């Protein structure tokens, strides 16, 4: 068979990719490059267009505009069965009438590969389920079906493996285990993985690069650490972990840092970490970077005074405080319990402080709550 399924390889390039349905635009002018051999995650809430993007790459959805390239091969309008792309479907979509062996062999047989048995056995060894070869899919547990779905796809050595919320149907413990296993498999065989998920922890655990999607567009792309430390939009700051975002105005513009007025109190924001376009700014600080201390004690770095503890949740390794600030906003603080029992109680008056380098600045026109409510909706 002479087609792209064996010859094409290289970086995956999406250019101006758009998918419009009759009543809304699922994917809006998407351009991105996925380097060959990387583990790439498309992260976003449901309906953000990540699955539609994946389906366009797989050929299950026809793009309205734009193009998809693997290396130098244009696959935009190629039939799905001609693409060097394989998919691990959300609910695995194993063939219920075929044995595990035949499920895994399906792609090889269609391409007329000779040493089917050898290759299937090898990949079943890789997913550590060679003893189940003669079973039917429905006789397997969810985790086993998941591994067979991966095996059925990677046995074909595609240029690109697509994973559509592959761990969504598994319970939390199994999901954690599979995350590590998938990452290991990817490293082992060196294929390009594109992983679609709404679970930010999953994306951060597995991916080299994450693209955060929202409403059909990419909000921000980068390594997990980069996205977490330097969010460029309120949506990313809230969707990837939690953030305290406080509205303020820039008072002076130093060479190293900005001085920002937050409801009468002044804090420093590293200039390089601010994406404010004018004097209006959202000052961001992650809950675990905040230090909490009684009002009477002294604090250094950036300091905000006048907070009252509204709620204390003790969760073993850490304690979560909800602090009401004088301007009516609630801030989240995570404190490590390295000193044993938390010393502070509900109703205590406290001071918050943090190292200025941990501060990031977003443009003041952003909605401080964008993306923060989506976490709860997504948890099943």
Partner 1 sequence: MAFLSAVSHKSDESEKKRSFLPYLLLLPGLVWLFFFFLMPILTLVSTSTKTPGLGIGEFDQTYRFANYWDAIVNSRGQFFRSFEYASIATIMALIIAYPLAYAIAFRSGRWKNVLLVLVVAPFFTSFILRTIAWKQILGGQGIGFKFLTWLHIISPQSHLTASAFAVVAGLTYNFLPFMTLPLYSSLERIDPRTMEASGDLYANAFTTFRKVTLPLSMPGVVAGTLLTFIPAAGDYVNAEILGNPQTKMIGNVINARYLQIVDYPTAAALSFTLMVAILIMVTLYIRKSGTEELV
Residues interacting with partner 1, by CB under 8 A?
5, 58-60, 79-82, 85-87, 89-91, 93-97, 106-107, 110-111, 138, 152-153, 156
Closer Cβ to partner 1, 51 or 220, answer by number: 51
C-alpha closest to that of 35 among 4, 15, 12: 12
Q: Which is nearer to partner 1, 91 or 230 (CB)?
A: 91
Q: What are phi and psi of 236, to 5 degrees?
A: -65, -45
Nearer to partner 1, 85 or 213 (CB): 85
Give the nearest distance from C-beta 106 to partner 1 in angstroms: 5
Query: In whole angstroms, how close is the CB of 76 to partner 1 at the nearest point?
Result: 16
- Closest to partner 1 by CB, 53 vs 353, is 53
Distance separating alpha carbons of residues 105 and 103, to the nearest angstrom: 5
Least CB distance from residue 197 to partner 1, whole Å?
Answer: 18
Q: What is the spatial distance between Cα 135 and Cα 159, in angstroms, rounded to a whole number? A: 29
Give the residue with the Cβ less far from partner 1, 150 or 262: 150
**Strands 302-315 and 349-354, sheet pairing:** antiparallel
Starting at the edge strand found earlier in the chain, the sheet holding 25-34 runs 25-34, 12-20, 65-70, 73-74
In the bound state with partner 1, the residue whose beta carbon lies nearer, of 155 and 245, is 155
Q: How far is the CB of 36 from partner 1 (least distance, A)?
A: 20
- Using alpha carbons only, what angle is made at residue 337 by residues 336 and 342, rounded to the nearest 5 degrees? 115
Spatial contact of 74 and 17, defined as CB atoms under 8 Å apart: no
Q: Please, which residue, 102 or 201, has the CB nearer to partner 1?
A: 102
Q: How far is the CB of 95 from partner 1 (least distance, A)?
A: 6
User: Cβ of residue 54: shortest distance to partner 1, in angstroms?
Assistant: 11
Closest approach of partner 1 to the CB of residue 182, in Å: 18
CA distance 35 to 298: 49
Give CA torsion, residues 354, 360, 364, 368, to 10 deg: -70
From the CB of 28, what's the least distance to partner 1, in Å? 24
CA 324 to chain centre: 30
* Least CB distance to partner 1 at residue 351 (A): 55
Q: Which is nearer to partner 1, 104 or 221 (CB)?
A: 104
Q: Are strands 280-285 and 360-363 parallel, antiparallel or unpaired?
A: antiparallel
Q: Which is nearer to partner 1, 105 or 218 (CB)?
A: 105
Look up residue 198 and give its two tokens: 């709404």
């Amino acid at each position: 068979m002479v087609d792209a399924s064996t010859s094409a390889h290289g970086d995956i390039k999406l250019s101006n990719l758009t998918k419009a349905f009759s009543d809304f635009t699922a994917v809006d002018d998407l351009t991105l490059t996925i380097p060959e051999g990387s583990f790439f995650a498309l992260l976003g809430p449901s309906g953000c267009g990540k699955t539609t993007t994946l389906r366009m790459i797989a050929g299950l959805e026809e793009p309205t505009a734009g193009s998809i390239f693997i290396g130098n091969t244009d696959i935009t309008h190629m039939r799905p069965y001609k693409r060097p792309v394989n998919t691990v479907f959300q609910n695995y979509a194993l063939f219920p009438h075929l044995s595990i062996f035949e499920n895994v062999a399906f792609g090889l047989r269609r391409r007329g590969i000779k040493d089917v048995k050898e290759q299937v056995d090898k990949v079943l060894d890789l997913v550590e389920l060679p003893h189940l070869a003669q079973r039917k899919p429905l006789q397997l547990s969810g985790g086993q079906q998941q591994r067979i779905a991966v095996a059925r796809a990677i046995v074909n050595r595609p240029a690109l493996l697509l994973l559509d919320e592959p761990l969504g149907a598994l319970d939390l413990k199994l999901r954690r285990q599979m995350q590590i296993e998938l990452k290991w498999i990817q490293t082992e065989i060196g294929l390009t993985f594109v992983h679609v998920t709404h679970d930010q922890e999953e994306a951060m655990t597995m991916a080299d690069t994450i693209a955060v999607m929202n409403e059909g567009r990419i909000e921000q792309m980068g390594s997990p650490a980069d996205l977490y430390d330097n969010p460029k939009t309120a949506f990313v700051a809230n969707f990837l972990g939690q953030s305290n975002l406080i509205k303020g105005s820039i008072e002076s513009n130093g060479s190293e840092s900005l001085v920002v007025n937050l409801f009468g109190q002044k804090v420093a924001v590293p200039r390089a970490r601010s994406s404010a376009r004018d004097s209006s700014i959202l000052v961001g600080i992650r809950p675990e970077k905040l230090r909490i201390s009684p009002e009477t004690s002294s604090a250094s770095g950036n300091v905000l005074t006048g907070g009252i503890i509204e709620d204390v949740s003790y969760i073993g390794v850490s304690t979560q405080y909800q602090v009401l600030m004088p301007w009516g906003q609630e801030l989240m603080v995570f404190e490590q319990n390295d000193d044993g029992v938390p010393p502070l109680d509900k109703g205590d008056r406290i001071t918050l402080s943090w190292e200025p380098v941990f501060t990031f600045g977003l443009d003041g026109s952003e909605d401080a709550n964008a993306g923060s409510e989506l976490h709860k909706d997504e948890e099943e």
